[in-house]
Structure 1
Amino acid sequence: MAQFGEILQNIGDFGLFQKVILLALCLPNIIMPFQFANVYFTESDPERHCTTDWILRVSPNLTSEEQLNLTLPREDDGSFSRCRMFVPVDWDVDAIREYGLNETTGCQHGWKYNSLLYETTIVTDFDLVCDKANLVQVAQTVFMAGVLVGCLLFGPFAESFSLNLAYFCLSFNVGKFGLSIFLTQAIFGLSEIPAHILCIWLLEVFGRKVSLMSTLLIAGVLCLLLLAFPEGNAVAVTILATAGRIFSNWAGSVCSVYVQELFPTSFRQTASGLGSIASRAGGLLAPLLNMLAVYHWSIPTVVFGTLSLISGGLAFVLPETSSKELPDTTDEAEDNR
């Protein structure tokens, strides 16, 4: 029986038919990032405060500033609370001014959203704020669960791999780096181009094993370096997050080639589908990991940065497959070690 490598040699070089197929397969990969990027904008959380129009029934001539001063408590930094209000009372406005209000409660009559960057988002439509803020990450998880189910249903046709935990943790936080979300997303989008193009050169010069190890390790280090800068340092945080995302994306591109060469022909496509499912599972866990930021903002960064370092270290045990024939059997794959 002819071996797979011999068949490839007899077929010939990468011809017109293969190029047309490649271009056709590129179309879903071009559309897919737009689907993922959509959630960054539809889940924007604008400035807000509790609706306190109850006091206008007591004194309808109050200015907006007076209304807020009389009905909303302030945070430690002097800003109005985004989730609390003073309990409504039956006093006249002079008594409220003189004695003030002390007892607070959650927003009883909804929220008023200010400085809207978008006309509407799922946050403003469904009031996913304060006690319901984590439902935004739940929505992201449901979205990624749908992607995972798609991989389970269409696994034999599925290929991924620049999707992983660190990639999506950084991507889902695109609006929290301090710069304009449009600018940050443009930077993220443009970073995809060199990541995939340079991957071709990287694989040829350094091989698969070194490429995967270096990109994962560098991505992990860059992510952990985010801890060295305060959240208010928007430029430094954005630069590090973008660089970390580039190397995560780069590692994913290396993986998409590497996994094809590690496994024998007998179950190469199955392994590819399982790898895609694992990648989608990482995307599924990313929103849930970001939810841990309510305990401390550094927890998600520590977790996905550390996992990248561990993955890069574990890649050391993998065999180098560059310039080797694709294995046809399990024994041939084992011989590559």
Structure 2
Amino acid sequence: MTMTDFGEILKHVGEFGRFQKCLVFMLSFLSFFNAFHMFGQVFMGISVPHHCNTNWILEKNPNLTEDVQLNLTIPRNEHGGHEQCIMYSPVDWDIESIHMYGLNDTVVCQDGWVYDTSQQKSTLVTEFDLVCLRREQVDICQSIYMLGFLIGSVIFGPLGDRLGRRPIILISVSMTFAFSLGAAFVTHFYVFIVLRCIVGIAMAGILINNLVLVAEWVGPSQRARATIIGHVCFAVGLMALAGVGYAIRNWRLLQIACSAPTALLVLYFWFLPESPRWLLTKGKNEKAKILLQKAARMNKREISDDILQQLQEEKQTKSGNMIDLFRIPDLRTKTLIMCLVWFMNALVYYGLSLKVGSFGLDIYLTQLIFGAVEVPARIGSMFTVQFFGRRLSQSLYLLLGGTACLIITAIPKNLSIVITVLAVIGKFATASSYSVCYIYATELFPTVIRQNGVGLCSMTARVAGIIAPLIGLLEKYHPAIPMAIYGSGPIIGGLLCYFLPETKGMDLQDHTVETADIPR
């Protein structure tokens, strides 16, 4: 028996029995908490009303009310409120002279800021003074977190193929817990940025290997369902984050609350199994046999010794590498198209998430809506890939999302409700497409280089996540440019999907071949 017959062995073990359901249940917890680590900073970096600290004038008269103090020391902006980043220059006059003549010369804040903490007790903004000339550092921190994702994709993709899926998941979970918890106790913002970057690196290791481990344990008929269960748990995590963020208004306590539950995943050191497919490609047949026997027992199935004995005939397979993805013509086509699909998915997903923030609703309610929208999107994609296949589903979702974004460019700005509905449709389609491309990528790449292939796709998605906020800056040249980019990109990706093979109902390919062996 060759490795291409592993699917037959899995049928004897059970394609989605109790063993696989337990595995999916375990890894779904990872997906749930991943939402906390990925988007927790949205609430930790909330900006609050602020103004320059002008307590210098209290030396002239300590009995001034706050309103009088602000009116004397801070100019008004065009909307009638007080400026947040400039103040009147301090003078050596007495208070009567200041009242009589007023102050005219302005300077940037000289002695820090005063923050309104009636709603948010403590945020990254208030603690590290990330306002005025430093206000962009919150966004930079999120971009560097995505840079960590990019680095992690480069590192943990190949390592997963070399060392195995299980050890990389365990290492990544340990890193996530240690560095995310450590971030709650930093005293310097740049240290926080570094720790967030490391958490991003670890998160990439979790996401890639989580995806591949499920795909390699579950049979083709249930693979889409098993993968999307994790995506739904991520969406539920987004909704739960809104509640946690609403309840905890101190960023350090919120960081601890988002990080501490990860400690429970230490139990995975005892219970998380390795991929038998990977073990067989490495010639570790005995370990694979033990795992398959354990899975068969849990699934209340019987697997004969004759079938297991045939595993001994499989010779150790040399791992592929990133070069194979471009050296072999068929793999090169798949790789380039899937990288483009992942890139466009991430660009529109993060771009719309930032753009749809103009709902005008409370930030916590907005987060709840964003998470709620993704639940039906993820679940719906599970049924579409089963009925229509991977290729058609991927293409249609991309075309729908791109079309919605392009229509927005033609809608007048005053029709905000119409724009919001179209943006939500675009996000719905993009979230659905994201779920499909995770399934599709694991099925397109052979086992020996699956981690490299998925890692490269994830890497392109991370690049898109880094530049997505920058696309929004193009609005100053023309307000339709960002949405035109978000719309045209997915349409191009959707059309290119027709050059990919269909993988619905097919067993995973294990070895690289010089010519395509999957029918189109």
Structure 1 Cα separation of the partners of residues 111 and 481 of structure 2? 34
* RMSD (CA atoms): 3.1
1:135 matches 2:137: yes
Report the AA paired with residue 207 of structure 1: G
Give 1:68 shift: 1.5
Task: Report the CA distance shift for 1:45/1:86 in structure 2 as closer, same or farther (over 3 A).
Answer: same
Task: Report the CA distance shift for 1:78/1:279 in structure 2 as closer, same or farther (over 3 A).
Answer: same
Structure 1 Cα separation of the partners of residues 74 and 357 of structure 2? 27
Report the AA paired with residue 2 of structure 1: T
Report the AA paired with residue 312 of structure 1: G
Is the CA contact 2:53–2:111 (under 8 Å) kept in the aligned structure 1? yes
Give 1:189 shift: 2.0
SS for the counterpart of 1:112 is strand
Alignment of 1:68-217 (within 5 A): 68-114=70-116, 116-155=118-157, 156=160, 157=165, 158=205, 159=207, 164-171=346-353, 177-217=359-399
Task: Report the CA distance shift for 1:143/1:132 in structure 2 as closer, same or farther (over 3 A).
Answer: same
The superposition leaves residues 170-190 of structure 1 with CA deviations (integer Å, 9 ceiling, x where unpaired) of 445676542111111112222
* Paired position in structure 1 for 2:214: none
Mean Cα displacement is larger for which, 308-317 or 212-221? 308-317
Report the AA paired with residue 460 of structure 2: A
Report the AA paired with residue 276 of structure 1: S
Is the CA contact 2:501–2:518 (under 8 Å) kept in the aligned structure 1? no
Task: Report the CA distance shift for 1:173/1:245 in structure 2 as closer, same or farther (over 3 A).
Answer: same
Give 1:33 shift: 0.6
Give 1:70 shift: 1.8
Task: Report the CA distance shift for 1:55/1:308 in structure 2 as closer, same or farther (over 3 A).
Answer: farther
Please point out which of 279, 290, 297 is paired with 2:461.
Answer: 279
- TM (normalized to structure 1)? 0.85
1:333 matches 2:512: no
Task: Report the CA distance shift for 1:96/1:237 in structure 2 as closer, same or farther (over 3 A).
Answer: farther
Structure 2 Cα separation of the partners of residues 286 and 319 of structure 1? 29
Report the AA paired with residue 516 of structure 2: A
Give 1:110 shift: 1.1
Structure 1 Cα separation of the partners of residues 20 and 518 of structure 2? 30
Give 1:99 shift: 3.0
1:252 matches 2:434: yes
Give 1:311 shift: 2.9
Give 1:271 shift: 0.8
Task: Report the CA distance shift for 1:202/1:107 in structure 2 as closer, same or farther (over 3 A).
Answer: same
Is the CA contact 1:264–1:329 (under 8 Å) kept in the aligned structure 2? yes
Mean Cα displacement is larger for which, 94-103 or 64-73? 94-103
Task: Report the CA distance shift for 1:232/1:92 in structure 2 as closer, same or farther (over 3 A).
Answer: farther
Mean Cα displacement is larger for which, 151-160 or 41-50? 151-160
- TM (normalized to structure 2)? 0.57
Structure 2 Cα separation of the partners of residues 237 and 34 of structure 1? 28
Structure 2 Cα separation of the partners of residues 308 and 178 of structure 1? 27
* Paired position in structure 1 for 2:6: 7
Report the AA paired with residue 82 of structure 1: Q
Report the AA paired with residue 8 of structure 2: Q
Aligned residues with identical type, % of pairs: 39
Structure 2 Cα separation of the partners of residues 220 and 319 of structure 1? 22
Alignment of 1:227-238 (within 5 A): 228=411, 230=413, 233=416
Structure 2 Cα separation of the partners of residues 19 and 200 of structure 1? 16
The superposition leaves residues 259-280 of structure 1 with CA deviations (integer Å, 9 ceiling, x where unpaired) of 1232344423321222222223
Report the AA paired with residue 2 of structure 2: A
Task: Report the CA distance shift for 1:86/1:168 in structure 2 as closer, same or farther (over 3 A).
Answer: same
Structure 1 Cα separation of the partners of residues 495 and 136 of structure 2? 33
* Paired position in structure 2 for 1:17: 19
Report the AA paired with residue 18 of structure 1: Q
Task: Report the CA distance shift for 1:310/1:230 in structure 2 as closer, same or farther (over 3 A).
Answer: same
Report the AA paired with residue 101 of structure 2: Y
Structure 1 Cα separation of the partners of residues 480 and 82 of structure 2? 25
Gaps of 5+ in 2: 166-204, 212-230, 232-344
Structure 1 Cα separation of the partners of residues 73 and 413 of structure 2? 32
Equivalent residue pairs, number = 335
Task: Report the CA distance shift for 1:239/1:61 in structure 2 as closer, same or farther (over 3 A).
Answer: farther
Mean Cα displacement is larger for which, 164-173 or 97-106? 164-173
SS for the counterpart of 2:465 is helix
Give 1:255 shift: 0.3
Mean Cα displacement is larger for which, 243-252 or 166-175? 166-175
Give 1:250 shift: 1.1
Gaps of 5+ in 1: none
Task: Report the CA distance shift for 1:209/1:20 in structure 2 as closer, same or farther (over 3 A).
Answer: same
Task: Report the CA distance shift for 1:39/1:304 in structure 2 as closer, same or farther (over 3 A).
Answer: farther
Give 1:79 shift: 1.8
Give 1:297 shift: 7.3
Is the CA contact 1:174–1:181 (under 8 Å) kept in the aligned structure 2? no
Mean Cα displacement is larger for which, 258-267 or 103-112? 258-267
Is the CA contact 1:229–1:236 (under 8 Å) kept in the aligned structure 2? no
Write 1 or 2 for the structure with the bigger share of helix: 2
